[in-house]
Structure formats: structure tokens, C-alpha cells
């Protein structure tokens, strides 16, 4: 594998930190802080499954995984922002989770972009010679 530029490595570190912090804080919020939720424990645990899907690719620095993991981060970001809005007593942890999810989303996007360019990946431009 080719050497990674310093800026790209920084985006990777930020993406990993945002992801791992989210991986810890979201279950903490769903299972401990909001333990009096009207939803069953099984349902709340099931809500955490999508969070695990990009784990291997993020830790192995796969640009494609970082790119599509943004969709998962966006879903949890929407959930976090909604929960923050409707549950004023949970705004402390909600603010931290929103920050970690935003870090994951933005850093993964920039990592995928920069690393993809370094590796020569990307969409091929259509040849207009017809």
C-alpha cells in the first residue's frame, strides 16, 4: 500500500476518533442514560447494529468504507439531533454525541476524498469523443 500524506493521515485519525467515540457514546445513551425508554431492550439493541457495519473498513483505512459510512453517521446524527431537541434533560450527552458524529461524518468524507485521490480511485470521466 502506498504511503499516506500527512493531511490524509490526520483526517483518518479524526474519522477514527469520531467513529470510536460514537461507538461508545451512542450505546451508553441508548442503553444507560435513556434506560426508561418506552422501547424494549431488544429494539434498542437492534438500533445499534448499523453502527457496527463499517467498523472493519474504518479501522483498516478503506476509503470506500469511509465514504459510505457517512450515510450511517447521518442517520445517527438525525436521531441524535431529534433526541437532543425533544429531551432537554439529555442535551449534555446529546451535544457530545452530535459532536462525535459530526467529526466522524466530516473527517471520513475528507479522508475518503484525499486517500482516493492518492490511490488513483474515483469515477472515470466520460469521453466526449463520439
Strands (E), 17-130: none
Distance of alpha carbon 61 from alpha carbon 49, whole angstroms: 21
Whole-model pTM: value is 0.88
pLDDT digits (tens, 9 = 90+) for 21-74: 999 999 999 999 988 888 899 999 999 999 999 999 999 999 999 999 999 999
Report d(CA 1, CA 122) in Å as an integer.
17
The total of other beta-carbon atoms located within 10 Å of residue 43's CB is: 11
* Segments making up each domain of the chain, as ranges: 18-119
CB 115 within 8 A of CB 1: no
Q: Give the model confidence (pLDDT) of 68-111 as tens digits.
A: 999 999 999 999 999 999 999 999 999 999 999 999 999 999 99
Amino acid at each position: 500500500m502506498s504511503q499516506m500524506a500527512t493531511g490524509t493521515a490526520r483526517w483518518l485519525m479524526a474519522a477514527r476518533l469520531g467513529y470510536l467515540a460514537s461507538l461508545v457514546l451512542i450505546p451508553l445513551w441508548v442503553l444507560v442514560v435513556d434506560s426508561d425508554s418506552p422501547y424494549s431492550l431488544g429494539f434498542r439493541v437492534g438500533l445499534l447494529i448499523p453502527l457496527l457495519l463499517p467498523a472493519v473498513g474504518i479501522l483498516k483505512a478503506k476509503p470506500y468504507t469511509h465514504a459510505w459510512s457517512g450515510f450511517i453517521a447521518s442517520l445517527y446524527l438525525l436521531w441524535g439531533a431529534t433526541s437532543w431537541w425533544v429531551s432537554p434533560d439529555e442535551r449534555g450527552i446529546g451535544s457530545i454525541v452530535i459532536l462525535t458524529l459530526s467529526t466522524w461524518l466530516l473527517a471520513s468524507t475528507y479522508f475518503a476524498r484525499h486517500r482516493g485521490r492518492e490511490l488513483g480511485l474515483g469515477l472515470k470521466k466520460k469521453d466526449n469523443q463520439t
